[in-house]
């Protein structure tokens, strides 16, 4: 029980990761797939950020008054990961917009059906 | 959505506070959570909010595409400029210590300009992405 309570951020991470992965696999709508991808990414951010927090730790500022500080490296890493996540999300949405213009749909099954029709005709 | 009085009034009330909060996050970035990335996104969110309520043409009148695109470049140039200012003053690239006679004040000055550059670029990129997605298919 103690191990469960003291590691609750890991449980939240696992929950978010499973939810995001499930949405990506189970949903045919491309925008919903991207939402799942974002949730999955958020779980990874949490996985890195949570151990970086030190209870009672300060910002890493040189001062005689503070002995314990939190390592800023995970936060900087995840700041970069968030920026990369925004860029990949924008790229994914741009591809979805382009798919919608070409197929008139963003449902995966309809796109696959349209591709199959094209292949039959060829 | 043009005739939604509640949204328009709430939007008018909220947008100034969003911009002030962006500035708070920006200046808090020196010594705590915050900084240019977050502040830029919040500032861009205020303009995107304005665009969602009053329409894309109104947002484009507020901040034309040319301004947004120059923001993207200007922020990166400001960042580079701070780096070269360190070089010209006899330090290394992005060396903050030489920016002022007092090294601590130099650190403050360096991080201020760097974060300002990040804010301008991030806000510009976010707005550009919004304009491109929202304006797609409505014009040539």
User: How far apart, in whole angstroms, are the C-alpha atoms of residue B116 and residue B39?
Assistant: 9
User: How many domains is chain B built from?
Assistant: 1
List residues of A whose CB lies inside 8 A of any B CB: 59, 61, 79, 82-83, 86, 90, 93-94, 97, 101
For chain A, give every domain's residue range: 2-121
Q: Tell whether B140 is covered by a domain.
A: no
What is the tens place of the pLDDT at every residue in A12-33?
A: 999 999 999 999 999 999 999 9
Q: Tell whether B131 is covered by a domain.
A: yes
CA distance B82 to chain A (A): 21
Instruction: Determine the average pLDDT of the residues in B122-138.
Output: 89
**Domain hosting residue B48, numbered range:** 5-135
- Residue A95 is predicted with a pLDDT of 94
Q: Tell whether B104 is covered by a domain.
A: yes
ipTM: 0.71
User: How far apart, in whole angstroms, are the C-alpha atoms of residue A97 and residue A31?
Assistant: 10
Instruction: Determine the average pLDDT of the residues in A61-73.
Output: 81
Does position B13 have pLDDT exceeding 60, yes or no?
A: yes
The first and second tokens of residue B42, run together, are: 């919040």
User: How far apart, in whole angstroms, are the C-alpha atoms of residue B122 and residue B131?
Assistant: 14
Q: In which band, very low, low, confident or very high, does the pLDDT at B140 lie, cut at 50, 70 and 90?
A: very low
- Cross-chain Cβ contact B31/A61 below 8 Å: yes
Q: Tell whether B16 is covered by a domain.
A: yes
Q: Tell whether B34 is covered by a domain.
A: yes
Q: Tell whether B48 is covered by a domain.
A: yes
Give the class (CATH, top level) of A2-121: mainly alpha
Q: Kindly report the pTM of this predicted structure.
A: 0.80
What is the tens place of the pLDDT at every residue in B28-84?
A: 877 767 788 889 999 999 999 999 998 899 999 999 999 999 999 999 999 999 999
Count of CB atoms situated within 10 Å of the CB of A32: 16
- Residue B90 is predicted with a pLDDT of 82
- Residue A60 is predicted with a pLDDT of 75
CA distance A120 to chain B (A): 31
Task: List helix spans (H) across chain A.
Answer: 2-6, 8-26, 30-52, 73-103, 108-121
Please give the distance of CA B58 from its chain centroid, rounded to a whole number. 19
- Cross-chain Cβ contact A101/B37 below 8 Å: no
- Residue A25 is predicted with a pLDDT of 93
Best mutation target among A57, A86, A87 (most B Cβ atoms within 10 Å) is A86
User: How far apart, in whole angstroms, are the C-alpha atoms of residue A15 and residue A40?
Assistant: 10
């Amino acid at each position: 029980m103690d191990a469960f309570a003291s590691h609750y951020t890991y449980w939240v991470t696992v929950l978010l990761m499973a939810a995001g992965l499930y949405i990506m696999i189970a949903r045919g709508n491309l925008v919903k797939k991207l939402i799942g991808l974002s949730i999955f990414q958020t779980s990874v951010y949490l996985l890195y950020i949570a151990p970086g927090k030190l209870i009672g730790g300060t910002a890493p500022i040189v001062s005689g008054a503070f002995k314990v500080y939190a390592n800023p490296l995970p936060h900087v890493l995840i700041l970069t990961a968030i920026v990369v996540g925004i860029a990949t999300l924008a790229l994914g949405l741009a591809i979805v917009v382009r798919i919608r213009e070409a197929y008139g749909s963003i449902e995966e099954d309809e796109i696959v059906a349209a591709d199959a029709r094209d292949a039959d005709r060829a | 959505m043009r005739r939604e009085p509640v949204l328009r009034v709430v939007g008018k009330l909220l947008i100034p506070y969003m911009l002030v909060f962006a500035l708070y996050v920006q200046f808090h970035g020196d010594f705590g959570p915050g900084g240019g990335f977050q502040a830029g996104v919040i500032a861009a969110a205020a303009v995107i909010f304005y665009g969602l309520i009053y329409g894309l043409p109104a947002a484009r009148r507020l901040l034309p595409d040319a301004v947004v695109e120059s923001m993207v470049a200007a922020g990166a140039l400001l960042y580079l400029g701070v780096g070269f200012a360190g070089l010209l003053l006899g330090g290394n690239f992005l060396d903050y210590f030489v920016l002022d006679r007092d090294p601590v004040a130099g650190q403050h000055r360096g991080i201020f300009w760097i974060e300002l550059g990040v804010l301008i670029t991030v806000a510009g990129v976010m707005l550009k992405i919004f304009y491109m997605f929202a304006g797609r298919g409505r014009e040539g």
